Structure 1
Amino acid sequence: MVKRITVKSFEEFQSTVAPLKDEKHLLCLFTGSEDASGKSWCPDCVAAKPAIEEALKDGPDNTVLLTCNIDKDLWVKRDNPFRTDNTLKLTCVPTLIRWGWNRRLNDQECQDAGLVSMMLED
């Protein structure tokens, strides 16, 4: 079963990911935030969600999914910390990172359940 953690800011992401850094299957998903009805401002994030969920169903039991919901107002700023941080260097949402493994999928790649599944392989 996947352990799911959701954060809503860069600072919250930093403080949450630090104690998880030794998890073997830590995936960090950076995605557009959702409104009260559950609709995201990011169409690529909406398109990627089913593929990510499908891949997680068959993933290792010790998988941790750390989801960071990013508000549109913050994302559109070129100097936002998700874009400028030397570790993250995000260029798009969604972005899925296998923490500590130098593996990353960007917007269109996140829509492929096969590629997402490969992120969980050792």
Structure 2
Amino acid sequence: MRGYEEVAVSGYEEFSAAVQERRDRQIFAYFSGTKDPQTGTSWCPDCVTAEPIVRAELKHLPEGSVFIYCQVGERAYWKDPNNEFRKNLHLTGVPTLLKYGTPQKLVEQECFKPDLVRMLFTED
């Protein structure tokens, strides 16, 4: 039994709706390149490396919090400097793990470090 809720979304609109529905709770969001439906693998090699590391640390999420797994779209969309993730959330790379509503975030290779992931999940 886990003490957090996990939500999987695809795209900015689904992400925004998920946040809006859960705005009264602490939200952690993980942004990844979209996975190929046939292979189940993201176009983003760093995302493929980071996901099992982040998932292994989910047990440290605060009780009652929300973990949103968000696929940001295809590579061409992600590379567009005007995509909603870049414009509205100021994301600079994937994978990105963030504590929503705070400046705390891990970007790209920082997500490869279990101790940094755990710190993001556990520190106020």
TM over 0.5: yes
Q: Residues 34-73 of structure 1 correspond to what in structure 2 (within 5 A)?
A: 34-36=35-37, 37-71=39-73, 72-73=75-76
In 2: Cα distance, 1:110 partner to 1:57 partner: 16
Seq. identity, %: 37
Partner of 2:18: 16
Corresponding residue pairs, total: 119
Match of 1:78 in 2: 81
Rounded to whole Å, the distance in 2 between the matches of 1:28 and 1:60 is 13
Shift of 1:114: 0.8
Higher helix share: 2
- For normalisation by structure 2, the TM-score amounts to 0.87
Q: Deviations over 1:94-117 (max 9, x none)?
A: 111101232111001111111111
Counterpart contact for 2:6–2:69, Cα < 8 Å = yes
Structure 2: runs of 5 or more not aligned = none
Instruction: Measure the CA separation in 2 of the matches of 1:98 and 1:116.
Output: 11
Deviation at 1:73, TM superposition (A): 2.5
Could you tell me how far apart the structure 2 residues matched to 1:116 and 1:7 are? 21
Partner of 1:103: 104
What amino acid does structure 1 have at the position aligned with 2:28? L
Task: Decide whether the 8 Å contact of 2:60 with 2:121 is kept in 1.
Answer: no
1:94 — aligned with what? 95
TM-score by length of 1: 0.89
CA distance in 2, matches of 1:3, 1:68: 14
SS at match of 2:121: coil
Equivalent residues of 2:50, 2:111 under 8 A apart: yes
Contact 1:21 1:99 in 2 (8 A): no
What SS class does the counterpart of residue 120 from structure 1 fall into?
A: helix
> Structure 1 segments of 4 or more deviating over 2 A?
57-63
